[in-house]
């Protein structure tokens, strides 16, 4: 295994430099493509949208990469369909004295997810301390 790595130095260094720039860039691009395909298919073919969405989630899980919560929340947890309020999802805004949440029901599989509104809750990505490094692409 070690002898194979030393045979061609020039191509491997290029690959190493690319991977240093952004870890898992190709995987991110593939997940982005599948998410866009899922978005496109959500209006005409929800089953196909669910396949693409679930594939994007499983690719991210295998490569140990995370989706941004705003994007991840648009995919159904169970079937992976893009939750479009016009076609594939129903939104219920529940407000009571102490309990406020937004319930999203998937029309394809029937799964419902609640997003609670608490005043003190803040996502980790909204915290400025979560940014380790900023990479800009040309």
Instruction: Return residues touching Zn ion (CB under 5 A).
Output: 76, 78-79, 106, 108-109, 111
Decide: 119 and 109 in contact? Cβ < 8 Å.
no
For residue 118, give the nearest of 106, 101, 133 by alpha carbon.
101
> How many whole angstroms separate alpha carbon 91 and alpha carbon 89?
7
CB of 78 to Zn ion, least distance (A): 5
DSSP state of 75: B
**Nearest to Zn ion of 14, 90 (CB atom):** 90
**Nearest to Zn ion of 56, 108 (CB atom):** 108
CB of 107 to Zn ion, least distance (A): 8
CB of 34 to Zn ion, least distance (A): 16
**Nearest to Zn ion of 55, 109 (CB atom):** 109
CB of 74 to Zn ion, least distance (A): 12
**Nearest to Zn ion of 37, 106 (CB atom):** 106
> How many whole angstroms separate alpha carbon 64 and alpha carbon 66?
7
> How many whole angstroms separate alpha carbon 107 and alpha carbon 89?
5
């Amino acid at each position: 295994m070690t002898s194979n790595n030393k045979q061609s130095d020039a191509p491997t260094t290029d690959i190493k430099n690319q991977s240093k720039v952004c870890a898992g860039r190709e995987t991110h691009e593939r997940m982005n493509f599948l998410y866009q395909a899922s978005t496109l298919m959500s209006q005409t073919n929800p089953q196909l949208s669910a396949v693409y969405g679930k594939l994007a989630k499983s690719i991210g899980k295998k490569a140990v990469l995370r989706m941004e919560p705003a994007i991840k929340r648009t995919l159904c947890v169970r079937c992976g369909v893009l939750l479009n309020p016009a076609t594939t999802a129903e939104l219920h805004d529940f407000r009571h004295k102490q309990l406020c949440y937004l319930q999203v029901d998937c029309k394809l599989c029937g799964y419902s997810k609640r997003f609670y509104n608490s005043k003190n809750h803040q996502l980790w990505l909204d915290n400025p301390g979560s940014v380790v490094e900023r990479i800009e692409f040309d």
